[in-house]
């Protein structure tokens, strides 16, 4: 076994740099392949449709998927701990309809928005406590959260409620543009969420604890990390992201609707997995999830450009997921072999 002995001092050849990269960032490979797929998709779309890569079209990609980005970010944290949160779509619907209803009753937006976030956080807290202190499987606990949030949404209203509040609509209607490119406040919020999550995951003890739990919960505990608090907190964060996504979606559609986001949790999971996060936990990146959502959004847009049935969307996403899960398995199997 050559384990202890000194590796030769790496001369800065390409090969040695590549192997150092692999040893440090092997888990980045799935995310990089998502980037490659995104680029390939965009090039392919450009070849087929000359106007696909127009600034307006690309800007709309961010705008249309802002809520999904926020959901995917929260979910990424949960999945890295080795858990899952199925409630995000329903939480988004619940907070969205709650927002529309409260605004319709005359509450000011500066009160409504915190209420939405707290509402999401409470559902997340419930799931987190179930998972951590009652040892409920995350799948089951968040399924309970899913039904609870969906039920609450119907309690608030059975039908769609229009939103007239200027502050909420401002989030969507304001467009700051440079050239043909534009960005809305909703887009900025989504990107801000990604940036904050990136910072938290890589530069704080909380973030590293999230990774540690995904690696081995037992070891993380022995290292003196606060496993219980962290695990509850990731579900709370996911809930808050659900609430924020509710705000973005309400602004986007100009209304609250209790049937919003049915199945969106699965879209979000798909985006996270395509972005290179392992469902078994331990590896993944929020930036990857951003890429995953963009891949998802691009495929969706491409299909509407082609005028094809949206059912193709599901098939393509399904196929892509399959490819990614197989790629991930291969990478995991390889790193395990090396570890032996």
Partner 1 sequence: MEERRPLLELTGATVRFGADTAIDAVDFRLFPGEVHSLMGENGAGKSTLIKAITGALPLDEGALTLDGEHVHFSSPQDAQRAGISTVYQEIDLLPNVSVAENIALGREPRRLGVIDWRTMRSEARAVLADLGLDIDPASLLGTHSLAVQQLVAIARAISTDVKVLVLDEPTSSLDVDEVAELFRVVRDLTRRGVAVLFVSHFIDQVYELCDRVTVLRDGRLVGEYLTNELLRIELVQAMLGRTAASLDAKTRAEVDPTMPREPYLSARGVTVGNGIRDADVDMIEGEVLGVAGLLGSGRTELARAITGADRVSAGIIRIAGREQHGMHPQRAINLGVVYSSENRRTEGIIADLSVLDNITLALQAEEGVFRRIRPDRRRELAMSWVEALDIRPPDLDRPAGTLSGGNQQKLLLARLLALSPRVLVLDEPTRGIDVGAKVEVQNLVGELADNGLSVMFISAELEEVLRVGNRVTILRDGRIVDTLPSSMLTVDSLLALVARPEEIDG
Interface with partner 1 (CB under 8 A): 1, 3-4, 6-7, 20, 22-27, 202-205, 208-209, 211-212, 214-216, 218-220, 222-225, 282-283, 335-336, 338-340
Judged by phi (left if over 0) then psi (alpha if -120 to 50, else beta), residue 61 lies in: alpha
3-class DSSP state for residue 180? Answer: coil
Minimum distance from CB of 283 to partner 1 (Å)? 5
Buried-state track 122-160, b at ≥16 Cβ within 10 A, e below 16: ebbbbbbbbbbeeebebeebbbbbbebbbebbeebbeee
φ, ψ dihedrals at 2, nearest 5°: -95, 25
The residue whose two tokens read 């999904």 is 68
Give the integer Cα–Cα distance in Å for 175 and 166: 15
Minimum distance from CB of 6 to partner 1 (Å)? 4
Closer CB to partner 1, 224 or 307, in the complex:
224
Contact 64, 231 (CB under 8 A): no
Neighbours of 101 (CB within 10 A): 18
Instruction: Tell which residue, 291, 300, 286, 282, has the closest CA to residue 324.
Output: 291
Closer CB to partner 1, 6 or 13, in the complex:
6
Closer CB to partner 1, 20 or 174, in the complex:
20
Minimum distance from CB of 337 to partner 1 (Å)? 9
Closer CB to partner 1, 169 or 327, in the complex:
327
Closer CB to partner 1, 141 or 213, in the complex:
213
Specify burial of residue 73 (Cβ count, 10 A radius: 0-12, 13-18, 19+). buried
Minimum distance from CB of 137 to partner 1 (Å)? 17
Minimum distance from CB of 225 to partner 1 (Å)? 5
Minimum distance from CB of 82 to partner 1 (Å)? 11
Minimum distance from CB of 216 to partner 1 (Å)? 6
Minimum distance from CB of 2 to partner 1 (Å)? 8
Give the integer Cα–Cα distance in Å for 285 and 199: 11
Minimum distance from CB of 9 to partner 1 (Å)? 9
**Token digits for 58?**
């690309």
Give the integer Cα–Cα distance in Å for 340 and 329: 17
Closer CB to partner 1, 215 or 254, in the complex:
215
Give the integer Cα–Cα distance in Å for 147 and 154: 11
Closer CB to partner 1, 26 or 188, in the complex:
26
Contact 287, 31 (CB under 8 A): yes
Contacts of 131 (CB under 8 A, 6+ apart): 83, 137, 138, 141, 231, 232, 235
């Amino acid at each position: 076994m050559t384990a202890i002995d000194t590796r030769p001092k790496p001369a800065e050849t390409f090969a040695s740099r590549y192997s150092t990269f692999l040893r440090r960032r092997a888990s980045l490979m799935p995310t990089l392949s998502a980037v490659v797929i995104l680029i390939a998709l965009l090039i392919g779309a450009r070849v087929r449709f000359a106007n696909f890569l127009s600034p307006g079209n690309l800007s709309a990609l961010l705008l249309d998927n802002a809520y999904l980005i926020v959901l995917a970010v929260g979910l990424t944290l949960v999945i890295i701990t080795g858990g899952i949160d199925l409630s995000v779509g329903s939480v988004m619907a619940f907070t969205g309809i709650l927002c529309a209803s409260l605004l319709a009753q005359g509450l000011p937006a500066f009160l409504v928005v915190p209420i939405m976030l707290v509402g999401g956080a409470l559902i997340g807290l419930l799931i987190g406590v179930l998972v951590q202190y009652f040892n409920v499987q995350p799948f089951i606990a968040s399924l309970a959260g899913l039904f609870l949030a969906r039920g609450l949404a119907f309690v608030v209203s059975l039908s769609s409620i229009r939103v007239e509040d200027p502050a909420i609509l401002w989030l969507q209607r304001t467009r700051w543009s440079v050239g043909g490119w534009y960005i809305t406040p909703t887009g900025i919020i989504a990107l801000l969420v990604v940036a904050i999550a990136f910072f938290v995951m890589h530069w704080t003890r909380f973030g590293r604890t999230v990774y540690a739990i995904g690696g081995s919960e037992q070891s993380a505990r022995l290292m003196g990390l606060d496993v219980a608090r962290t695990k509850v907190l990731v579900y709370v964060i996911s809930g808050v992201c659900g609430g924020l996504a509710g705000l973005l979606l309400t602004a986007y559609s100009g209304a609250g609707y209790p049937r919003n986001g049915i199945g969106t949790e699965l879209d979000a999971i798909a985006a996270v997995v395509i972005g290179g996060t392992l469902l078994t936990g331990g590896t993944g990146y929020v930036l990857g999830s951003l890429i995953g959502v963009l891949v998802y959004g691009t495929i969706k847009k491409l299909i509407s450009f082609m005028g094809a049935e949206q059912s193709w969307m599901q098939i393509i996403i399904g196929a892509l997921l399959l490819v990614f899960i197989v790629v991930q398995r291969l990478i995991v199997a390889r790193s395990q072999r090396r570890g032996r």
